[in-house]
Amino acid sequence: MQIDTAGTNAVFEVRFDGSAAGWGPLDLSDHDLVLVVASDDMAGFDSSDFVVDVGEPGYSSFVRCRQYSTSQAQHLIPPHHTLSGVGDWVILGVHLSGDGTTNGPLTKTNVQDVKVRVNDNNRNIRVRIAYIGFARKSQVLTGCKLCFAFDDGRTSQRTFAAPEMRSHGLFGTYFITPNIPAGSSIEPPDTVMTLEQLQELSRDYGGMMGFHADTAALASSDMGWSAAGHRFLESEIRSAMAWIAKNGLNTDGGCASVRGEYNNNSRYEDPQISGHSNALPVLRKHFRYHRTVNEGFETAPVIDPYRLRSLSVQGSHTPTEIMDRIGEAAAENAIYILSFHSFVDGAGSGTQYSEADFASICSQVETEVGNGNVRVMHIGAAIDSCGGPLYFDPKGPIT
């Protein structure tokens, strides 16, 4: 449905009759509504620009939105439906809340109107609601789902971080590069872990292994994903994951691309590879999630598990700053991924983090776990705890 809007606070609306469409009852108290909204001028839009009304008294909503190009948004809906037309897309994740007592439980068949208000819209833009879906929230756990992530397979992650975490009942996910030789210098004084150290992490410390790269060619600054083709990336992934399986390492099927390829700009563009629009088709084929770095956190439902936000922890981040961010995530029942690299005795800088500061974070996290505000989880389990990635109604787009 396309509407030309003008002026401020313009309202565009789509009407649908669930009963006439043959959909069975769906209790929206157990689901979040997801809209795929298109416009030819979505630049600069954020969550505050949208207000969603499902037409039921006693219900309120808050909106989280992420912006995508047409090709990116296409990945998020069933493959037999095609997005076309206006230039940019916004995925609106709408969390519905209310007691469900007015007009009975809020269900899909008794919601006839969905109204999306665009605040301060004075640009005469075209807006289209292309798709309506629902994301299950019945098993969304309260509090912050906190995930510790570690990149590159560096020795200080095994010699310091893993024992420190275990002493507080914590664990993490390690994104590794199997075919970079053990002992190779990576950021002095750190070196690349041995297989035995990785096996210890998996066996004794509750660690999960994920794909970061396989060879130095993919991990290096002069190569990276920006110079890799689909075949090269496929080869790297197959080699690394076969190595992980052969050596009995635990994995939850995740990856994290290297050297910021996951975070080209503020629009969350796909990781780019040479001669192709993006690497995501390859990643979706082999992995259940892909971790990015852009300092935010993931609210439920997880709109796109292949662009998971995380914080790349720097030496300048104090324990107080980290715990404040964890508190914000806990207030929104969100997933928060902390990505670490190296650990040093003394003041941290760059991606080298102070051992004393990390120990302080672990101690405070243990306290918050005891208070019920934080749950430490592997990344895949955290996605599942938010109802899993979103799904769209198989009946197709609203027209």
Residue-level pLDDT, tens digit, the chain, 399 residues: 334 444 444 555 544 455 555 555 556 666 666 666 665 555 556 666 666 666 665 655 656 565 666 655 655 555 555 565 545 555 555 555 554 454 455 565 556 556 666 655 555 555 666 666 665 555 556 789 999 999 999 999 999 999 999 999 999 999 999 988 898 988 888 999 999 999 999 999 999 999 988 887 777 655 566 666 778 888 989 999 999 999 999 999 999 887 655 544 333 345 555 554 567 778 888 999 988 776 678 776 676 788 788 898 999 999 999 999 999 989 878 899 999 999 999 988 888 999 999 999 999 999 999 999 999 999 999 988 876 555 444 444 443
Q: What's the gap between Cα 374 and its chain centre?
A: 18
Give rounded-to-5 percent helix, strand, coil for the chain: 25, 30, 45
How much is the pLDDT for 389? 56
Domain that holds residue 261: 144-385
Residue with tokens 């399986």: 245
Residue ending a domain, choose from 137, 167, 182:
137
**Are 231 and 297 in the same domain?**
yes
Q: Is 281 found in the same domain as 309?
A: yes
At 263 the pLDDT is 46
Position 1 in a domain:
no
In this structure, are 171 and 249 located in the same domain?
yes
| 3-state secondary structure at position 40 | coil
Domain identity same for 160 and 117: no
Return the pLDDT at 334: 85
User: Both 219 and 301 in a single domain?
Assistant: yes
Assigned domain for 160 exists: yes
- What is the pLDDT at residue 385? 80
Q: Residue 153 domain-assigned?
A: yes
The CATH number for 180's domain is 3.20.20.370
Q: Enumerate residues 6+ apart whose C-beta is below 8 A from 334.
A: 144, 145, 297, 298, 299, 300, 328
> Could you tell me if 90 and 228 lie in one domain?
no
Q: Is residue 177 part of a domain?
A: yes
Judgement on whether residues 364 and 236 belong to the same structural domain of the protein: yes
Q: How many domains does the chain have?
A: 2
In a domain, 399, yes or no: no
36 within some domain: yes
- 231 domain residue, yes or no: yes
Q: What span, in angstroms and rounded, lies between the C-alpha atoms of 41 and 23?
A: 33
How far are the Cα atoms of 162, 240, 309 from residue 335, in angstroms, in the given order?
A: 21, 27, 9
8 Å CB contact between 18 and 111: yes
Does residue 192 sit in the same domain as residue 244? yes
213 plus 129 within the same structural domain: no
Domain end (from 86, 117, 137): 137
User: Are residues 192 and 123 located together in one domain of the fold?
Assistant: no
Q: How far apart are CA 192 and CA 153, in angstroms?
A: 6
Q: Which residues pair with 88 in a beta bridge?
A: 39, 69
Same domain, 118 and 148: no
- Boundary (domain end) residue, out of 137, 160, 191: 137
For residues 128 and 242, membership in a common domain is answered with: no
Residue 396 lies in a domain: no
